[in-house]
Amino acid sequence: MSEIWLTMTASDLGRAIGRGEIDPVALTRTYLDAAKAHPMSDRIYARMTEGRAMAEAEAASERARLGLRRSLLDGVPISWKDLFDTAGVATESGSALLKDRVPDSDAEVLRNATAAGLVCLGKTHMSELAFSGLGLNPVTATPPCVNDYEAVAGGSSSGAATSVAFGLAPGAIGSDTGGSVRIPAAWNDLVGLKTTLGRVSVEGSVPLCARFDTVGPLCRSVEDAAQILAALEGATPIDLKGATLEKTRLMILETAAMDDIREAPLKGFERAVGRLESAGATIERGEVPELEEALSLSAVLFATEAYAYWQDVIEANPGLMFAEILTRFRSGADVLARDYLQAWNRLEEIRKIWADITAGFDAVILPSSPILPPNTERLMTDSDYYITENLLSLRNTRIGNLMGLAGLTLPTGIPSAGIMFLSSPNSEERLLRLGAAAEAAIS
Residues catalogued as catalytic: 81, 156, 180
Residues 6+ positions from 342 with CB-CB distance below 8 Å: none
Contact 411, 218 (CB under 8 A): no
CA distances from 277 to 246, 286, 411, 438 (A): 9, 16, 17, 10
Residues 6+ positions from 253 with CB-CB distance below 8 Å: 286, 287, 288, 291, 364, 365, 366, 399, 422
Contacts 24+ apart (CB under 8 A), 269-272: 269/366, 269/367, 269/412, 269/417, 269/419, 271/412, 271/413, 271/414, 271/442, 272/410, 272/412, 272/413, 272/419, 272/438, 272/442
Dist CA 75 CA 285 (whole Å) = 44
With left for phi above 0 and alpha for psi between -120 and 50, is residue 349 left, alpha or beta? alpha
Q: Which of 85, 165, 412 is nearest to 265 (CA)?
A: 412
Helix (H) or strand (E) holding 109: helix 108-115
Dihedral angle computed from the Cα positions of residues 264, 270, 274 and 280, in that order, rounded to the nearest 10 degrees: 120
Dist CA 275 CA 46 (whole Å) = 39
SS3 state at 304: helix
Dist CA 386 CA 383 (whole Å) = 5
Exposure class string for 350-386: b at 16+ Cβ within 10 A, else e: bbebbeebbeebbbbbbbbbbbbbbbbeebeeeeeeb
CA distances from 135 to 65, 187, 205, 413 (A): 41, 11, 19, 22
Amino acid at 391: L
Q: Which of 130, 86, 93 is nearest to 109 (CA)?
A: 86
SS3 state at 385: helix
Pairing of strands 282-286, 77-81: unpaired
Amino acid at 111: R
Amino acid at 371: I
